[in-house]
Amino acid sequence: MRVLYIDDNRINLKVIEAMLGIRSAQALSAPNGEVGLAMLDAEDVDAVLVDLRMPDMDGFEVLRRIRGRGDAKASLPVCIVTADPDSNLGAQARRAGADEFLTKPVMMADLFAFLDAVEAQDPRPAVRACP
């Protein structure tokens, strides 16, 4: 599984990369929305994690641009991630088209539950390693 994580905070990127590594998922990291969207154009990914509060382009704008694409990537599973304590943000994120909403610090079990849901909906056959 390949997961694109967009966050302007380098430490947050490293933490999520480490969690994805534990899950044996490949992490692709972007430091802002513009770079993340460019990476989405160039790379095949299975899911997107995007920080809500970034200086140049917030997570809602990134989500809007992903959902507005004219290709299959418009329907990629997207999870909004935030440290913002506003309890209404989860509902806002889902109304905007997010598949999931996680708060920081992200709990590994919550991240893995999102990835499990992504894998459960993936119509491609699983690739299993030979013993």
Each domain of the chain, given as residue ranges in start order, spans 2-121
Instruction: Please check whether the domain covering 2-121 is classified as CATH 3.40.50.2300.
Output: yes
Residue 71: per-residue pLDDT: 96
How many CB atoms are located within 10 Å of the residue 108 CB? Answer: 15
Residue 87: per-residue pLDDT: 83
This prediction's pTM: 0.90
- Write out pLDDT tens, residues 78-100: 999 999 988 899 999 999 999 99
Q: How high is the mean pLDDT of the chain?
A: 92
- The CA distance from 43 to 18, in Å, is 20
Residue 122: per-residue pLDDT: 64
Residue 39: per-residue pLDDT: 98
- The CA distance from 59 to 105, in Å, is 17
Q: Which residues of the chain have pLDDT under 70?
A: 122-131
